[in-house]
Structure 1
Amino acid sequence: MTTRLNPYLNFRDTARDAMDFYQSVFGGELTRSTFAELQVSDDPTEHDKIMHSMLVTEQGLVLMAADTPNVMPYTPGTNFAVSLSGDSEDESALRGYWEKLSSTGIVTAPLDQAPWGDTFGMCVDKFGVSWLVNIAGPQHQE
């Protein structure tokens, strides 16, 4: 049996746009259900909110997200980041993901040679999500 750790991001009314953006970055199949489809809210202002969405890529990446209900507090935080790591530097993988995520966001650490020998960068995308990208150097590749 496989155990997976999947990032689950919460938004306030922007989960649809955020997941569309992440699909444009990573590709893959995006599924989503609204509050109305799952009949989880009687509030008509919430019917189009995303109750659950999941992006699954051919590379095995899984990202989930939802909109926070109006009755729940929502405080965007800096206590989480999504980490992408591996040894594929080509444009269709880590370096390409970096370019797309950082192009409309804020680069907090440029994608560059790290002291541990890998290529590493940090950015905050246009939705306020922090991303860490680590491309293994030759000494870490198998």
Structure 2
Amino acid sequence: MAISTTTHLNFRGDARAALEFYQSVFGGRLTVVEYGDFGMPRDLPDADKVVFGQVTADNGFGIMAYDVPGHAPAASAPAATTRADGMTLTGERFFVSVRGETAEEVGALWDKLADGADVIEKYGPSAWAPGFGMLTDRFGVTWILDVAAPYAG
């Protein structure tokens, strides 16, 4: 049996903007379905919000998102995650991790995703990987980007 997993992000009114941004970073196809498309009367406040959205790319990247109904966009807040003395300190329940094969390909993704982000640890070589970086993007999602280390087994 084969299975796969896809991160599903919950937003407070800005799922469409986040998905469009992630598509600009990772490429792929964008699908957005609004609550109004599923029968919610168009005159209600959430009718134009995302009930189902996803970005899927041929390189294997996939992410899903929707807008939690009845919530206004969240105010910008400083990153809840920090790095100190080689440790990651956080109260967040999850991070999104993207791993690639080369420092160049991951670095190119980093450069795009870092636009408007709070950088927690700048992308570069680390003790455990040829490339590693951590940031909280402009939508409040914390990402870890790294390069698969060669297997030494």
Question: Which interval holds the TM-score relative to the shorter structure?
Answer: 0.7 to 0.9
Matches within 5 A, 1:113-132: 113-132=125-144
Q: Could you say which residue in structure 1 is the equivalent of 2:21? A: 21
TM-score with structure 1 setting the length: 0.85
1:98-125 per-residue CA deviation (whole Å, 9 max, x = no partner) reads: 1111121011011122112431110010
Q: Which structure 1 segments of 5+ residues have no match?
A: none
Q: Could you say which residue in structure 2 is the equivalent of 1:65? A: 65
- State the identity %: 33
Matches within 5 A, 1:1-142: 1-40=1-40, 44-70=44-70, 78-90=92-104, 93-137=105-149, 139-140=150-151
- Distance in 2 (CA, whole Å) between partners of 1:114 and 1:4 is 28
Q: How many residues are treated as equivalent by the alignment?
A: 135
Q: Which structure 2 segments of 5+ residues have no match?
A: 78-90
| Structure 1 outlier segments of 4+, above 4 Å | 40-43
| 8 Å contact from structure 2 (residues 42, 48) kept in 1 | no
Two-structure CA RMSD over aligned residues (Å): 2.3
Identify the structure with the greater helix proportion.
1
- Distance in 2 (CA, whole Å) between partners of 1:11 and 1:112 is 30
